[in-house]
Structures are given as C-alpha cells and as structure tokens.
Structure 1
Amino acid sequence: MKKLLSIFALVGACLAALPAMAAEGGYPLEPAPLDTSDVSSLQRGAKLFVNYCLNCHGASMMRYNRLKDLGLTDDQIRQNLLFTGDKVGDTMTVAMPPKDAKAFFGAAPPDLSVIARARGNDWLYTYLRTFYRDDTRATGWNNLVFPAVGMPHVLWELQGVRVPKFAEVEEHGHKVQKLAGWEQVTAGKMSTQEYDQAAADLVNYLNWMAEPAQSRRKRLGVWVLLFLGVFAIFAWRLNAAYWKDVK
C-alpha cells in the first residue's frame, strides 16, 4: 500500500509540474479565458474559424450541421458559414490540395479537429496573440510561442502589425533578453482588448469543437454521480438489513 501511495504521489507531482515545465521550455503561456457555456462566444469563434482558419486548415471530424448545437439554424449556417458548393451536412474540409499546401508552406497545415486537445487552450490563446512582423521569414511573420513558424498571421488585419520590444536583464549572473512590451507599427481593425477577446472566442470554439458533447457529458455526469450516491445509501441500508441478525 505504501508503495502504491508513493507512485500516486510521484504521478501527482509530475502532473503539477507540467505547467512550470512548459513555461521554462519557452515563452510563458497565458491562461485562456474560456467558457463553453457562452453560446455567443462560441458563435463568434465559429465565424472566425470559418472565415480565417478554414481556408488552409480542415476539421475533418466536424460537420457544419453540428453548429446547430450552438443555437444556429440550417439557414444561418448556409448563409453565413458555408462556402459555395458545400452542404450543411458536409464535413469541414479545405479545398486546398495537400500537395499545394506543402509547396506553399513547407508542410501541409494540420487538421484542427482536436488541436485544442493536442496543444492546449493556453498554448493556442498565447500563440494567436504573439505573432510579429519578421522580414527574415518567407511568410513575413514569426511567433514567440512557435519560433520559425511556417504559418502566416492570418488575423493580422484584425490585430495590426506589431513587433516585440526586448530588454537585456541579468539572471543568475547571465544577461538574457526579456520581452519588455510590443510596438504597434500599424493599427488593426480591432483594439488590443477586442482582439484578445476575438482570440479567446476562437480558442473557445476550438475547445468546443474538440468535443462538442462535453457540456452534455458534464451535465449527465452530475446526474450519474447523484444516482450512485442515492444508490449507495440504499445498498448500505440493504446490507445492514441482511446482516442485522448475524451475531
């Protein structure tokens, strides 16, 4: 038993250390302000996903008509979120052939069906907010979370063009470069606060898309736990009734 408890304690310590390890390994991640019960946020995120992400990335495990779970009708999906020729029951696939995508970007853009599970919500949120202009890159863009990224900043019109400002600080006897802030080169269509909210909406949708039934699963889980709790009481009393005459 002691050995088993030691193993559990070790696993718990490793899991608790994961966020710190991720932060030490690169740019520190910022917590994503997500709320999968916020239908308006999910709808805005779905619109951003279709208009900006689905041009290159696909979501082959997701069908357009699943967006009805977000309160949208077939007509709203058809009029606002479908490309020409697509049907409401189709999966969210991209028209760009993988061969062309590899030629353009060096590698085919990944499918985003479960990207929130693969990368994590905090990683995605920070990633979308740390693009900057870099003329040394073929795309003209770079990213603090994903250095030398092959993806251009598709939301640059919303955020505008920014470059990071670094300051030299001393840590443990060594001089290192630390991010001191951002310089806005050209303004975007959104303010900083509006863009941060848009990034949160998009990540909120990606998190929902990775498991559209998660809210229902959680609600069902509460009822299952309540049932098991009540059943445990009856089982306990029944057990007492069976053994009451046993001395």
Structure 2
Amino acid sequence: MRKIICILALLLPGMAIAAGGNVHLDKANYDLTDKASLQRGAKLFMNYCLGCHGQQYQRYQRTFNDLGIPEELAQENLQFTGDKVSDYIERSMPAESAAQWFGAAPPDLTLVARVRGADWIYTYLRSFYVDESRPFGVNNTVFPEVGMPHVLQPLQGTPRKATEQAMVDGEMVTRQVGIKSDGDGSMSAAEYDQAVLDLVNYLEYTGEPFRLESEALGKWVLMFILVLFVFVYLLKKEFWRDVH
C-alpha cells in the first residue's frame, strides 16, 4: 500500500498538468504522416510563435528535410533570424527582454507536446477570450490568468465567451457554453480549428522526430523476437529431450 501511495504521489502532478485542471480537453486528431499538415504547422510556428518561443533542441535543417521542404524555399520563407540552416531554432526575442515584458521568459516549445499533451495544446489555443482586466486583454479557460497574448487572434478573430440562460435548482442563471469569435479574423471557425491542429501536429513531430521510424522499427523487432522465440523453444526441447 505504501508503494502504491508513493507512485500515485509522483504521477498526480503530471496528470494534473496534462489534464489542465478540471477543464474538458478536446481531442486533437493529429496525423504525423500528413506532410502537408506538418508543413502548414511549421509555417504557423515560424510566423506566429518563434518571436517568443524557441525550439533549442531542433535544427532547421532536420525540420526542413523531415517535412519535405526544399532548403532554399524554407530559408526564404521560414527563416527570419538570419540563422544558418544547420543552427537550432532559437527565438528572436532576447531572454532578458522577454523576462522584463512577460514577467518570465517564454518557455522553449521543443518538447511541449510531450509535457502537456496534444489535447491540452489543441484546447488551449482555442480557449482564449477577451478579458480587459488582463495585461494583454485576454484570458484562457484552460490556463487561467495566462500571461501570453493571443498571437493567433488575427486568424481566429476576437474571441468572446458564449453564454446561455439555464434553469439551475429552480433559478435562472447565465452559464458559459463555449467561446465564439466575432468573425473579424481571416479564417472561419473550421479553418482556425484546422490551423491549430496543424500547429499541434508540428509540435508533436518536434517533440519526438524519430517517432514514425521508431514505430516502424518496433514492428520488425517484435517479429524478430517472435521468430527467435520459436527457435529458442525448439532448442529448449532438444536440450531437455533426454531429461523428459
């Protein structure tokens, strides 16, 4: 019982981070084999996220090669910091300035999908809403009191809480039923959801670039073990034949 309690104590903080409190997380149906989605996600990251968030464990060259983006085209359209193609993907904002403006330097996002989970990121990026009391004028239902501006607002439009009147215990109350854009963004709601999914897909890739190769290799390893088991079993029977 003591061991079980210790294990639960270690796991609970991680589960709380992944779940994002009591907020329901929408399912992110990402697909690491969809190169077009990964390319769109990389474009979104470089254009909207890289100013504040870097990926210090991921190189430009590795990214471009894996996603099937020609290096010359990528350097022209996806590299804005003047870095070499062999460099790591570093944010363009100095850490000191970021800490001064935001209170703390924005975290590196190379492994964010492995830490938070795809569902958390997908829901988080679709959960900003207008809150004039906050420094950047927005808040987030998944991450309350968030210190990050809604950088994707030009795409989504101005998001506001959607409410409805409902009878609760014999009393009419107003409750939140979601978040709805004012429609002043460059994308429709469906297009924005897809754009966020593309970005999540890209972050899943950078969290574990070898994942598809590992899964493919794993199948061959299991087949090898199965064949080896047959030979080992026959060898065992041969060794123990005289004993039985």
> Which aligned pairs between 1:21-36 and structure 2 lie closer than 5 A?
22=19, 25-36=21-32
In structure 1, what is the Cα distance between the partners aligned to 2:44 and 2:38?
Answer: 10
Q: Is the 8 A contact 1:45 1:204 kept in 2?
A: yes
Superposed CA deviations along residues 43-89 of structure 1, whole A, max 9, x for unmatched, are 11111111110011111000000121111222122122111421110
User: Corresponding residue for 1:163?
Assistant: 160
The percentage of counterpart residues that share the same residue type is: 48
Q: Is the 8 A contact 1:158 1:195 kept in 2?
A: yes
Structure 1 range deviating more: 67-76 or 137-146: 67-76
Any unmatched runs of 5+ in structure 1?
none
Q: Is the 8 A contact 1:65 1:77 kept in 2?
A: no
User: Corresponding residue for 1:245?
Assistant: 242
Q: Is the 8 A contact 1:134 1:140 kept in 2?
A: yes
In structure 1, what is the Cα distance between the partners aligned to 2:52 and 2:178?
Answer: 30
Q: Which amino acid aligns with 1:138?
A: P
Structure 1 range deviating more: 115-124 or 73-82: 73-82
1:189 aligns with 2:170: no
Q: Which amino acid aligns with 2:115?
A: A
User: Corresponding residue for 1:209?
Assistant: 206
Q: Is the 8 A contact 2:129 2:179 kept in 1?
A: no
In structure 2, what is the Cα distance between the partners aligned to 1:230 and 1:138?
Answer: 62
> Which aligned pairs between 1:2-81 and structure 2 lie closer than 5 A?
22=19, 25-67=21-63, 68-81=65-78
Q: TM-score, normalised by structure 2?
A: 0.87
Superposed CA deviations along residues 102-124 of structure 1, whole A, max 9, x for unmatched, are 11112110000101111111110
User: Corresponding residue for 2:107?
Assistant: 110
1:132 aligns with 2:129: yes
Equivalent pairs, count? 235
- SS of alignment partner, residue 216 of structure 1: helix
Superposed CA deviations along residues 217-247 of structure 1, whole A, max 9, x for unmatched, are 1111110010000000010011111211223
**What is the CA RMSD across the aligned residues, in angstroms?**
2.6
Superposed CA deviations along residues 111-139 of structure 1, whole A, max 9, x for unmatched, are 00101111111110000001111111110
> Which aligned pairs between 1:90-109 and structure 2 lie closer than 5 A?
90-109=87-106
Give the CA deviation at 1:170: 6.8
**Structure 1 residues 118, 168: CA separation in 2 closer, same or farther (over 3 Å shift)?**
farther
In structure 2, what is the Cα distance between the partners aligned to 1:86 and 1:235?
Answer: 54
In structure 2, what is the Cα distance between the partners aligned to 1:69 and 1:180?
Answer: 40
Q: Is the 8 A contact 2:129 2:158 kept in 1?
A: yes
Any unmatched runs of 5+ in structure 2?
none
- SS of alignment partner, residue 193 of structure 2: helix
**Structure 1 residues 149, 235: CA separation in 2 closer, same or farther (over 3 Å shift)?**
same
Give the CA deviation at 1:183: 4.0
Q: Which amino acid aligns with 1:198?
A: A
**Structure 1 residues 239, 175: CA separation in 2 closer, same or farther (over 3 Å shift)?**
farther
